[in-house]
Amino acid sequence: MKKITLVLIGLLIFNSCLNSDYKPNYKFEYLPIEEAIAPVSFTLGEIDTITVKYSLPNGCYSFDHIYYKSVDTTRVVAITALVELDQECTEALITEEKKIAVKASQEEDYVFKFFKGVDSNGDNIFEEVIVPVN
């Protein structure tokens, strides 16, 4: 009898933890890169730095990570922000910059595509910067 009661209490506790109406109070969003500062060229085998500048639209936004995807000689770069939903947000526009270390490991030119936002059709807009390798 004690075992059955214990199992029933356990099931009740487990069931109370399950809430099918739960919705996260945050989302992730890509932010436009306002300015990208790249070197004139890379030297094969050496590490160089690219600086990207972006703005957090209000106090509900915070930096999460740099989206960096390599496809052949192309590198797609964007800023991923965490956006808190259902919060009181300050209206302050916060400008930040991040540095990206890039090791030139290919002889071909690097093509960087920096995310600039979305157009009226919902298509992503990129700024392309080509960095040759010496």
Structural domain of residue 50, as residue ranges? 24-131
- Average pLDDT value over all residues in the chain: 90
User: Please, which pLDDT band fits residue 4 given cuts at 50, 70 and 90?
Assistant: low
18 within domain boundaries: no
* Strand (E) or helix (H) holding 100: strand 94-103
With CA atoms as reference, report the closest residue to 54 among 39, 67, 70: 67
pLDDT score for 24: 75
* Mean pLDDT, residues 94-101 taken together: 97
Question: Residue 19 above 70 pLDDT?
Answer: no
Number of domains, the chain: 1
Report the predicted TM-score, pTM, of the whole model to 2 decimal places. Answer: 0.79
70 within domain boundaries: yes
How far, in Å, CA of 58 to CA of 93, rounded? 5
User: Please, which pLDDT band fits residue 87 given cuts at 50, 70 and 90?
Assistant: confident
Token pair belonging to 61: 């936004």
47 within domain boundaries: yes
**Kind of pairing between the strands at 26-31 and 74-84:** antiparallel
> Cα 27 vs. chain centroid, distance in angstroms?
11
38 within domain boundaries: yes
Strand partners, 68: 77
84 within domain boundaries: yes
With CA atoms as reference, report the closest residue to 130 among 51, 65, 39: 39
* Cβ neighbours around 60 below 10 Å, total: 17
7 within domain boundaries: no
Question: Residue 57 above 90 pLDDT?
Answer: yes
